[in-house]
Amino acid sequence: MIAIIDYDAGNIKSVEKAMTLLGQEAAVTRDKDTVLSADKVILPGVGSFGDAMGKIRQYGLEPVIRQVAESGTPFLGICLGLQLLFEQSDESPGVPGLGILKGKILRIPEAEGLKIPHMGWNSLAFPVRGRLFSGLAEEPYVYFVHSYYLEAADEQIVTAVAEYGTRIHASVEQGNVFACQFHPEKSSDAGLYILKNFVEL
């Protein structure tokens, strides 16, 4: 069973639908025991960093997420779910993130001809071919919606990058913890392939 953590963030239903398409049993839940007993855990998210961390703490989910990350259970953060795994974000100064991974979330710099938020399809490059991208064609196009991006402290955990006014660390992998800035559940066949790789870990 795959637990999809429910902390009132957007985009949960599309992740659940993608899991169903892949033939997976999925539970949208914030129940501690359900999350901790799951075979895999997904932290989705669309919205504000500060509001999301507030909800995670309100629902007592921070220690649960940490326990999953430390347990070896495969864990996937998606979009805002990636950003929350890190230490801080320019979007919500003074609000600490989960700090499970080291790095900071920065605002995409203004540049002529670039709209913010970065919304739409963009290709990925793989500095290191992580397990999520095993067997995937080079430079797949995936779907992004974000105004802030990751700059990981350790580039060795970065498994995919994208260019949009700056070099975006678009996916990371450290042990059992995986995360994508883009939305695999909205990224057509390439996204489903990435999610399939996750559920087959």
Domain boundaries in the chain? 2-199
Contacts of 195 (CB under 8 A, 6+ apart): 18, 19, 22, 184, 185
pLDDT number for residue 11 = 78
pLDDT number for residue 58 = 97
pLDDT averaged over consecutive 10-residue blocks of the chain (201 residues)?
92 93 97 98 95 97 98 97 98 97 96 91 96 97 98 98 97 98 97 98 96
75 near 177, Cβ under 8 Å? yes
Which residues are annotated as catalytic? 79, 183, 185
> What type of residue sits at position 112?
E
pLDDT number for residue 112 = 82
- Sign of the torsion angle spanned by Cα atoms 132, 136, 142, 147: positive
pLDDT number for residue 62 = 98
pLDDT number for residue 9 = 82
Report the distance separating Cα 103 and Cα 34, nearest Å.
29
Euclidean distance between the first and the last CA atom of the chain, given in angstroms as a whole number: 13
pTM of the model: 0.97
Report the distance separating Cα 39 and Cα 133, nearest Å.
20
2-199 carries CATH number 1.10.30.50: no
